[in-house]
């Protein structure tokens, strides 16, 4: 039987873009170049997505480009080791390309890829600003196979530019260029379980080596990556389930996922469950939603996050049948869908993606729809 509780309370309800110029010179020590110039009458919308490695950025990008229209692929005729993805509407660039130190250089200086000293933030800022203003750039390419910088590639201004990686919100100048910022926050317990599954099964690493590599990265992660979530407009937080008591879910398959949305962000209306401004706990399992053990629980409410007012939608558990997701979708509002059942359609379309049976896939899809809506609002305003 479905069950929920509702307690009404109060609610509340800000943001911006840049200029134009003629020439941008790449200051990469390895490949000094001058960019081709293209001036556009409209500015590119820029989205920043921050997360540690192995936390679902690539899956999120595939869901996002699907929502925006068309599959994402590497630039045609370019470097086969390019990290860039191009779709009909969006271009996704990986901020690893702005490493100022290659793998050997980092090893020689004793710094990790998370350390800001290994990155060229000046070049990152100059090129993101140029793209936002409608100018093409010659962006460096970091080769993850060789660990070195390859010759640069031409990036022409798309309608939407997504910058994803470890540091999209680290530099204040780059933060000010973002029209929306997202942080994928995977808890240490879940991150460890995911990394164990991937690295032991796919890469043959031992449990001891995996644990050692996580511990070696942790100080830099805590110092340079995690603090960025205070600047995010939306955070997808992945936590261990509360539906199974004790350490009952050793593999981390059942997850509790929160979508934390900052109030007052221009062009971004937070999603809510049942009644905006209320506090809701909802157990939908029953005749309309199939739920095997340990079931599903949704929640919605308000709070503060790094001093900002936020609204939060939470899902704990996983779906048995994705085609029943339409039942949950009908109880969520401000989804920015274009037709009835669009969230369910997107989830079914990518049922084989990681997280499709739980809140990671659901909330990544919803944030993708919100990004599309934000872009359309900005274009309509211009």
Question: Would you place residue 195 in the very low, low, confident or very high pLDDT band (cuts 50, 70, 90)?
Answer: confident
The answer as to whether 309 is a domain residue is: no
157 vs 246, residue with greater confidence: 157
Mean of pLDDT values over 268-286: 93
Averaged pLDDT of the chain: 86
- Dist CA 382 CA 378 (whole Å): 6
Mean of pLDDT values over 101-129: 95
Give the pLDDT of residue 290: 86
Neighbours of 373 (CB within 10 A): 19
The answer as to whether 72 is a domain residue is: yes
Domain extent at residue 164: 40-183
Q: What is the CATH number of the domain that holds 79?
A: 3.40.50.300
Mind listing the pLDDT tens digit for each residue in 199-218? 676 666 777 887 887 888 89
The answer as to whether 4 is a domain residue is: no
Best CA proximity match to 56, nearest among 146, 148, 182: 182
- Dist CA 13 CA 26 (whole Å): 41
Neighbours of 339 (CB within 10 A): 6
Strands 45-50 and 234-240: unpaired
Question: Would you place residue 38 in the very low, low, confident or very high pLDDT band (cuts 50, 70, 90)?
Answer: very low
Mean of pLDDT values over 94-113: 94
44 vs 189, residue with greater confidence: 44
175 vs 381, residue with greater confidence: 175
Give the pLDDT of residue 286: 80
- Dist CA 66 CA 55 (whole Å): 19
Q: If 0-12 CB within 10 Å is exposed, 13-18 middle and 19+ buried, where does residue 4 land?
A: middle
The answer as to whether 326 is a domain residue is: no
The answer as to whether 12 is a domain residue is: no
Give one DSSP letter per residue of 59-118, joined into a string.
HHHHHHHHHHSS--BPPTTS-TT---EE-SSEEEEEGGGGBSS-HHHHHHHT--TTSGGG
Residue 37 has pLDDT above 60, yes or no: no
- Dist CA 81 CA 309 (whole Å): 42
Domain count for the chain: 1
| Six token digits for residue 235 | 């955070």
Most confident stretch, 9-13, 71-75, 140-144: 140-144
Question: Would you place residue 191 in the very low, low, confident or very high pLDDT band (cuts 50, 70, 90)?
Answer: confident
The answer as to whether 177 is a domain residue is: yes
Question: Would you place residue 22 in the very low, low, confident or very high pLDDT band (cuts 50, 70, 90)?
Answer: very low
Residue 99 has pLDDT above 80, yes or no: yes
Percent of the chain with pLDDT over 90: 66
- Contacts of residue 330, defined as CB under 8 A and 6 or more positions apart, other chains included, come to none
Give the pLDDT of residue 246: 65
The answer as to whether 192 is a domain residue is: no
Mind listing the pLDDT tens digit for each residue in 237-251? 999 999 988 665 555
Give one DSSP letter per residue of 127-185, joined into a string.
HHHHHHTT--EEEEEE-TTTSSEEEEEEE---SEEEEEES-TTTSHHHHTT-SEEEEEE
- Contacts of residue 380, defined as CB under 8 A and 6 or more positions apart, other chains included, come to none
Strands 234-240 and 296-305: unpaired
> Which residue do the tokens 């003629």 mark?
22
Least confident of 6-20, 67-81, 194-208, 218-232: 6-20
The answer as to whether 371 is a domain residue is: no
Give the pLDDT of residue 19: 36
Mean of pLDDT values over 219-246: 94
Least confident of 32-46, 192-206, 300-314: 32-46
Mean of pLDDT values over 26-38: 39
């Amino acid at each position: 039987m479905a069950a929920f509780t509702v307690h009404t309370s109060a609610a509340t309800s800000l943001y911006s873009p840049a200029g134009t110029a003629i020439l941008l010179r790449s200051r990469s020590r390895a490949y000094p170049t001058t960019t081709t110039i293209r001036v556009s009458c409209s500015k590119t919308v820029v989205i920043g997505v921050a997360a540690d490695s192995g936390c679902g950025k690539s899956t999120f990008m595939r869901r996002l480009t699907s929502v925006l229209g068309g599959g994402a692929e590497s630039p045609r005729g370019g470097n086969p080791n390019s990290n860039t993805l191009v779709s009909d509407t969006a271009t996704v660039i990986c901020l690893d390309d702005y490493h100022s130190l290659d793998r050997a250089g980092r090893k020689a200086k004793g710094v990790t890829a998370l350390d800001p000293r290994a990155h060229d933030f000046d070049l990152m800022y100059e090129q993101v600003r140029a793209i936002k203003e409608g100018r093409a750039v010659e962006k460096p390419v970091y080769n993850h196979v060789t660990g070195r910088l390859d010759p640069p590639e031409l990036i022409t201004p798309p309608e939407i530019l997504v910058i994803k990686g470890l540091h999209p919100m680290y530099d204040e100048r780059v933060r000010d260029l973002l029209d929306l910022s997202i942080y994928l926050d995977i808890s240490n317990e879940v991150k460890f379980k995911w990394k164990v599954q991937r690295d032991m099964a796919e890469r043959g690493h031992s449990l001891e080596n995996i644990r050692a590599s996580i511990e070696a990265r942790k100080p830099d992660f805590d110092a340079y990556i995690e603090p960025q979530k205070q600047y995010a407009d939306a955070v997808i937080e992945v936590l261990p389930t509360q539906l199974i008591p004790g350490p009952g879910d050793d593999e981390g398959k059942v997850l509790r996922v929160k979508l934390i949305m900052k109030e007052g962000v221009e062009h971004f209306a937070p999603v809510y469950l049942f009644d905006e401004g209320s506090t809701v706990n909802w157990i939908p399992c029953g005749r309309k939603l199939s739920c095997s053990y340990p079931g599903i629980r949704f929640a919605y409410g308000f709070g503060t996050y790094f001093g900002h007012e936020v609204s939060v939608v939470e899902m704990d558990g996983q779906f048995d049948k994705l085609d029943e997701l339409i039942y949950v979708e009908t109880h969520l509002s401000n989804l920015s869908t274009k037709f009835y059942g669009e969230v369910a359609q997107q989830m079914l379309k990518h049922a084989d993606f990681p997280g499709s049976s739980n809140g990671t896939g659901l909330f990544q899809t919803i944030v993708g729809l919100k990004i599309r809506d934000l872009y359309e609002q900005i274009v309509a305003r211009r």
